[in-house]
Every structure is written in structure tokens, then in C-alpha cells.
Amino acid sequence: MRDRLKEVLGGVLELPASEIPDDASADTLSGWDSLRHLELMLALELEYGVHIPTEDMLELRSLEAIEAFVAANGG
Amino acid sequence: MSLVPTGEETAARRRDGLELARADRGAAARVEVLSSFNVDLLPPFLVEAFERAGLPVVAHAGPFGRIGEVVLDPSSELYAAEPGAVVVVPAAEDLLAPFPSPELVDERLAELEGLVRTLLERLPATTCYLVVFGTDRSPFSQVLDPLASERGQAGIERYTTGVRSLSGLSPRLVLVDWDWAIRGAGWQAVRDERLWYLGRMRLSQVGCAALAELVARHAAAYHGRSRKVVAVDLDGVLWGGVVGEAGLAGIEVGEDGVGLAFQDLQRELLRLHDAGVLLVACSKNNPADAAEVLEKHAGMLLRPEHFAAERVNWQDKATNLRELAVELDLGLDSFVFLDDNPVERDWVRRACPEVLVPELPDDPVERPALLRDASWFARIATTAADRGRAAGYREQRGRRDLQSRAASFEEFLASLEQQVEILPVDDGSLSRAVQLCQRTNQFNLTTRRYTASDLERLLADPGHELLTLSVADRFGASGITGLAILRHEGERAVVDTLLMSCRVLGRRVEDAFLALLAARAAARGASTLVGLYEPTPKNAQVATFYPDRGFAPVEEGVFALDLRASTLLSPAEIEVKAGARA
């Protein structure tokens, strides 16, 4: 699951998945800006078939948080 | 192809667009987006959609909500970047807040017109794509009467109508009517409320992909990339059933039932024909059977005179299409081929990959809409030449018959009673001149693909003379079929561009045109007329055009004629009228 997430994140940020650390977050990964963040949320919805409400979009700012959300929402 | 893609298609287009943007593409033009709302998601979709339209670009979205500031500030990034195209997206909901009163609408429209004028003036080589961006949401839809002032609908409609009416401002202004185009799929399909609240984006990613697609279709049409010929199969396409088996009375086409779907398809083809798209038949059939239907069947809208050429025989269709291309003097990349048989479609796709072969729905009732919505033949506007094109090909058949009866070539020329008219390019002929630059392949000495902005620039320069050629004969008038650009450089004059449509070739019209250019050059004091030939894969037939007419080779592709020592004579059989436009 984490590897697939990194693929999605890497696809949005135009980075190889292997260069994304497990503790990646919008605060630590350069390039993860507000525009990329929105694109990431949309890519996650498409990849996992989930719907991310607006408040959650604001909070899912780390790989860890995203993983937890996707797991909890049956993606 | 539908304007609004699926989520998966959208994701794939974004990936492709980003990949293209990363690659080094030296010749790519820059597209700059000025929008009243956040369009940061748009650039990769623009890059991808333009690429599919054969136009390599890089795209950049400027700061949103600041169209006026960016356009009015001469030192803004916009002008420094010298974009090839600017896409302006002034959304009604942004400009007309808090309420679209008629006064506010008119004020905003006046501002917008001023901004577009400034933009076009400061970027004299740039094309501006102005998006008509209304909304389906009236400010207060609880009031149901569409004209009630508190509902606000009338103001929004006044705005979209006003934006559309800017269309005549300049040949470099292209209106992109998003408001109309999105009616089919609906605004609901292109919105994402979360993106509005989190990022002030009025379009979802899918919406951005759709807008990019629409702008790219307009750009393709503006740059003359549209197809020119529709080749149709007969049985199963123009009518239901096989005429060879069912007979004239047994085929299905007319006002009743599914027959109407076949007739409606013909109606769409007739519209294309009237707009200048050439219609040709390409069918495996007995010629007599097919001719009987075209001439006699009461349910048919298409008649023999609508076809510019036909191949009704038992040859394979790829061979037929190649022959048709030769007969019409057009490339196979100008063709769209409609056939109901998947095997034929597949064969033509393999044998002639340049031909566009759309999937034709099995159910004939789906087909008229397919043709109506397709953008294969899209053009910004039709010119008089477009409307007369099919008639021109019919007249051409008449001339061929006459030529086969005449005893000598001179006699044939004299019997044609040709009149040539050569006039300076003006506002009325500019779009036709651009079209000729974009389309003419074979009789084109330098193949310079000038756009409207290029020609406007040359027109404004007194050192350049732009002349159109029209030919009329006893069979009819061809309209504007030739263009020359003469550059006066004091002692010498250079023929920068000389091109003619194939329809008027081989009748010595080119000699009349060249003789007039020589006379113009001499009148402006030149002693030498310089002709250029720049080879392309398609213009070999004019490789020796200048040497054949007494020009001496100077260097590779450059020929000179001493105007003091020699005179180019205009053919005596052709009456030439030249002068200024009224």
C-alpha cells in the first residue's frame, strides 16, 4: 500500500517513488506545494475510488495521514 | 470525440502533458493564460491538447484575477514572454459580482474590449483566444421568471452575448465559446466545489481538460489543420441496405423511420459540402446501381452534382483513396473516410495511415450527431472561396472536356476566355490569403506558412506588396486562387511568396501573374527581379519555374531576372485587370 501511495505521490510531484521517504509530508518534501497538494488529492480519489471531503483535503498533508485515510475509507 | 473526458482520460492527458513539458522542444510556441480565476491546473492539459492538434507549445498560467493589471502594465511578464498565443478567460461570476446589473455588465464589457485591443496592439504577432465563460447559475434562482431583474439571468446573458460580439475586433482574435460548447455535458460535469473553496478554481481537472481541448480545436482550425475531404462509402452509409441486392425500391433512406437517420447524415454532409468540404464517393458497387440511387431515389438529399469525384468500382478502397487524392490534388492527410464496415476501416487505417478513419457507430441513428459534433472539419469562419469550392471542381470537369476537344493548347486557352484580376490584399481578402498560405502545397515556391498576424505585419510595411489573384473563365469564377508577396529592396525586388491553387494551373495564369510582378518591380525602380525556390516534399513541380522563364541561377534556390534587358510577356489569351481595391 505504501509503495503504491508513493507511486501516486511521485506521479504528481514528478519524482521517482524511490526518492520519497516514509515520513514525507508537505512540510518536508520540496515541491509538495498547495497546487500539487490539490492535484495529489484528485489523483488519490481516482486511484483508490474514494471521495475526500474538503476538511480532510486540508489535513491529509503527510504520507502517514493519507495512508490512514485510505485504509479507513476502504480504498 | 466528446469534449469532456473521463477521469482516467484526464489523468492520462495530464501525465502526457507534463512529460511533453519536461522534454526539450525548441520550436514550441508559448501559450499564456490570463484568467479571472485560478487555472494553475490547466497548463499540462493545454500542452497535451495542442500537441494532439499538431501544434507543439509550452503553456503558462499567469496570476489569476488580474487580467487588467497584467495587460495594462507594459513591463509585465506577459509582454516579456512574447507568447505566440494568449488565452483570456474572464468568467461572468468573477467579473459581475456581486450582481450582474445591466450597468455593471456594460462597464465590464467595455473594459474587456479595451484590454483585448491593448493586448493585440502590444503583441502584434500574437493570437488571442477569448473564452466566452458564462455560468449556469443565476444569482437568485428562487425567482423563476427568466426576465425578473432580481434573478440576474438577463445580465449574465447580456454579458455572454457581449463577449461574443467582440469577435470581429481583429483577425487575430478567436472567440472560444465555452458557454455554448459545455451545454451538452453540462456545467455539473466540469465543476468541483472543493477546488473552488480551497483554490479559487472554477473548473475541475476534467473541466480543465475539456477547456484545453476546446481551445486546441480552435487553434487547429485557426492554423488551417482541418481536414478538407470527406470520402463516403455508399451502401450502409448514405442509405440502409445494399442497392445491388435490394434494388432502388428496397434501400432505406427518406423521411420515415430509420431512413430519416440516413437522410440526416446526408444533411450533415450537405452542410459540410456547402461550407467547402469536398465530398467524394468511395464504394464497392456497380457504378450504374449507385448512379441510379444518386439520380433517382426520392429520399436522397445528395445528388451527383455534390460529389467532387468518385470511385465506385471493385478496387480496394485504399487504392481508390490514393487515386482520389491525386485527382483532387490534395494529400491523404486531408481525408476523412466514413465506412460502416469495420474490415474496410481497418484496412484503410493500415494502408493509408494519414487518412482519418473514425469508428462509425453500428446504429445509424447515432451517426448524424457524430458528424455534427466532430471537429475534423472545423474552421473559424467560411470564406466565399470555401462556399464555391465544390462548384469549382465541377467546372474543372467541364474544362477537361473542352481541352480534349480543342485542337491545340493555344486554341483551348483562347476558348476559355480567361480573365485574371490582381488586387492588393485588404481586410476583405486577408482571411483567404492566410488560408492559401496555410494550405497550398504544390504550386508554392517558398511554402511560407504565414498566419493572419504575419500578413497584417507585412501589410503595414510599405516595403511589401501583397497581391491576390482571381481567375474567371466561361465556366465560372474561381475566386481568389493565388497570392504573391513582393518585397521591394530598392535596386531589386524579391518574390517572397508565389503560390496558386492547383485548380487554375496549366492555363498560363502563372505567367500573367509573374509578368505583373515584374511590371510592379520595374515601376518601383528595381532593375532586378529575384525569384526564390525552397524545396519541400510536395513542390517539386515548380523547381524549374524561374529558369523556365528566363531567370538566371544566382545561388542554390535563388534566381534573378534583369528587368532592363528582358521583358516578361503576359499571355495574349488572358485578359488581365490589375489595380487598387475600391
Question: Which pLDDT tens digit goes with each residue over B210-246?
Answer: 999 999 999 998 988 889 999 999 999 999 999 988 8
- Is the Cβ of A39 closer than 8 Å to some Cβ of chain B? yes
User: What is the tens place of the pLDDT at every residue in B418-453?
Assistant: 889 999 999 888 988 998 998 888 899 999 999 988
Dist CA B211 CA B35 (whole Å): 12
In this predicted structure, the answer to whether residue B403 has a pLDDT above a threshold of 80 is no
If asked whether residues B217 and B233 sit together in one domain, one would say no
CA distance A55 to A59: 7
Between A and B, how many CB-CB pairs are < 8 A? 31
* Dihedral angle over CA of B573, B575, B576, B582, nearest 10: -170
Q: How many CB atoms lie within 10 A of CB B226?
A: 21
* Whether residues B459 and B486 fall in one domain: yes
Query: Quick check: B146 and B157 in contact, CB under 8 A?
Result: no
pLDDT level of residue B390 (50, 70, 90 thresholds): confident
Q: In chain A, what residues touch B7 (CB-CB under 8 Å)?
A: 46
Tell me the nearest-neighbour CA distance from A11 into chain B, angstroms.
Answer: 8
From B222, B244, B279, the end of a domain falls on: B222
Residue B83 near residue B28 (C-beta atoms within 8 A): no
- Asked if omega into B304 is within 30° of 0 (cis), the reply is no
* CB pair distance less than 8 Å for A46 and B194: no
Percent of chain B beyond pLDDT 90?
72
Note the pLDDT of residue B379: 79
In a domain, B382, yes or no: no
Interchain proximity B8–A46, CB inside 8 Å: yes
- Evaluate whether B223 touches B55 at the Cβ level (below 8 Å): yes
The mean per-residue pLDDT over the stretch A26-43 comes to 93
* Three-class secondary structure assignment of B65-123: CCHHHHHHCCCCHHHHHCCCEEEEECEHHHHCCCCCCHHHHHHHHHHHHHHHHHHHHHC
Beta bridge partners of B54: none
Residue B235 and residue B365 in one domain: yes
Query: What type of residue sits at position B497?
Result: T
Output DSSP code: residue B340: S
pLDDT at B393: 74
In this model, does residue B581 exceed pLDDT 60?
Answer: no
For chain B, what is the domain count? 3
- pLDDT value for B176: 98
pLDDT score, position B582:
40
The type of residue at A35 is: L
Closest Cα in chain B, distance from residue A22 (Å): 24
Please give the distance of CA B438 from its chain centroid, rounded to a whole number: 9
Cell of B581: 481595391
Residue numbers in A near B15 (CB within 8 A): 11
Q: Please say whether the beta carbons of B271 and B222 come within 8 A.
A: no
Could you give the CA distance from residue B259 to residue B298 in angstroms, rounded to a whole number? 12
C-alpha cell at B142: 428562487
The mean-pLDDT minimum among B268-282, B400-414, B477-491, B558-572 falls in B400-414
Is A49's Cβ below 8 Å from some Cβ in B?
no
Kindly give the pairing relationship between strand B558-562 and strand B575-578. unpaired
Give residue B18's domain range.
7-222
* CA–CA distance, B169 with B127 (Å, rounded to integer): 12
> Shortest Cα distance from B361 to chain A (angstroms)?
29
CATH classification of the domain holding B448: 3.40.630.30
Q: What is the pLDDT of residues B311-340, one digit of tens each?
A: 999 889 999 999 999 888 888 999 999 999
State the best of A13, A42, A59 to mutate against chain B, taking most chain B CBs within 10 Å.
A42
Chain A residues with CB-CB distance to B61 below 8 A? none
User: By the CB < 8 Å criterion, does B198 face chain A?
Assistant: yes
Cβ neighbors of B265 (< 8 A, separation 6 or more) are B237, B238, B364, B367, B368, B371
- Residues B340-369 have pLDDT tens digits of 999 899 999 999 999 999 999 999 999 999
Residue B556 domain-assigned (yes or no)? yes
B161 and B108 within one domain: yes
- CA-to-CA distance for B33 and B85, rounded, in angstroms? 9
* 8 A C-beta contact, residue B442 and residue B538: yes
Q: Do B18 and B52 have their domain in common?
A: yes
* Selected residue of B45, B190, B194 to mutate for chain A interface (largest A Cβ count, 10 A): B194
Q: CB distance A46–B7 less than 8 Å?
A: yes
CB B511 within 8 A of CB B545: no
pLDDT value for B266: 97
HEC readout, B344-370? HHHHHHHHCCCCECCCCCCCHHHHHHH
Question: Are both B311 and B272 inside the same structural domain?
Answer: yes
For residue B55, the domain's CATH number is 3.40.50.1110
Q: CB B198 to CB A42 under 8 A?
A: no
* Chain A, nearest residue to B197 by Cα: A54
B361 and B481, same structural domain? no
Answer yes or no: do B471 and B560 share one domain. yes
List CB contacts (< 8 A) between B40 and chain A.
Answer: 35
B506 vs B287, B408, B501, CA distance in Å? 31, 14, 11
Instruction: Flag if A43 and B197 touch (Cβ within 8 Å).
Output: no
Q: Position B234: which residue type?
A: L
CB neighbours (10 Å) of residue B177? 19
Q: Is the pTM of this model over 0.80?
A: no
**Contacts with B201 from chain A: Cβ below 8 Å:** 38
How are strands ordered across the β-sheet holding B492-500?
B552-555, B558-562, B528-532, B492-500, B476-489, B464-473, B419-424, B575-578
CB contact B19 to A (< 8 Å): no
Q: How far apart are CA B415 and CA B413, in angstroms?
A: 5
* Strand (E) or helix (H) holding B283: strand B278-284
Q: Which of B222, B237, B268 is the last residue in one of the domains?
A: B222
The number of beta carbons lying within 10 Å of the beta carbon of residue B543 is: 13
Q: CATH no. for residue B321?
A: 3.40.50.1000
Spell out the domain ranges in chain A.
Answer: 2-72
| The C-alpha cell that represents B421 in the structure block | 484580376
Tell me how far apart the alpha carbons of residues B109 and B103 are, in angstroms, rounded to a whole number. 10
The beta-carbon neighbor of B18 closest among A14, A46, A58 is A14
- With contact defined as beta carbons under 8 Å apart, do B356 and B376 qualify? yes
d(CA B430, CA B427): 5
pLDDT tens by residue, B155-207: 999 999 999 999 999 989 999 999 999 998 999 999 999 999 999 999 999 99
For chain B, how many residues are written? Answer: 582
The whole-number pLDDT of residue B580 equals 63
- In angstroms, the CA B330 to CA B308 distance is 12
Chain B nearest-CA residue for A58: B198
User: What pLDDT, in 10s, does the model give residues B509-568?
Assistant: 999 999 999 999 999 999 999 999 999 888 888 999 999 999 999 999 999 999 988 888
Is pLDDT at B401 greater than 80 in this prediction?
no
pLDDT of the residue at B406: 66
Q: What is the pLDDT at residue A75? A: 66
| DSSP secondary structure string for all residues of B460-494 | H-TTEEEEEEEEEETTEEEEEEEEEEEEEETTEEE
A49, closest residue in chain B (CA to CA): B7
The ipTM (two decimal places) reads: 0.93
CATH homologous superfamily for A2-72? ACP-like (1.10.1200.10)
Residue A74 reports pLDDT greater than 80: no
Chain B (108-147) residues lying within 8 Å, Cβ to Cβ, of chain A: none
Closest-CA distance, B199 to chain A, in angstroms, reads: 8
Q: Which residues of B touch A57 (CB under 8 A)?
A: 194, 198
**Nearest to B389, CA basis, from B537, B518, B502:** B502
Quickly count: other Cβ atoms within 10 Å of residue B322's Cβ: 16
Residue B379 lies in a domain: no
In this complex, do B198 and A54 lie within 8 Å of one another by their Cβ atoms? yes
- Assess whether B278 and B194 both reside in one domain: no
Query: Across all residues in chain B, what is the average pLDDT?
Result: 91
The closest alpha carbon to B228, from B503, B419, B414, belongs to B503
Distance between CA atoms of B188 and B183, rounded to whole angstroms? 10
A55 touches chain B (CB under 8 A): no
Distance CA B571, CA B574 (A): 6
Taking the CA of residue B2 and the nearest CA in chain A, the distance in Å comes to 20
Of B346, B373, B400, which marks where a domain is finished? B373
Spatial CA neighbour of B440 closest among B509, B376, B500: B500
Shared domain check, B303 and B416: no
Residues B433 and B549 in one domain: yes
**Could you tell me if B253 and B159 lie in one domain?**
no
For B194, the closest of A35, A43, A54 (CB atoms) is: A54
| Partner residue facing A43 (CB), from B11, B40, B194 | B11
**B393 domain-assigned:** no
Say whether B194 and A43 touch across the interface (CB within 8 A): no
- The pLDDT tens digits for B79-125 are 998 899 999 999 999 999 999 999 999 999 999 999 999 999 999 98
**Closest Cα partner for B341 from B314, B317, B368?**
B317
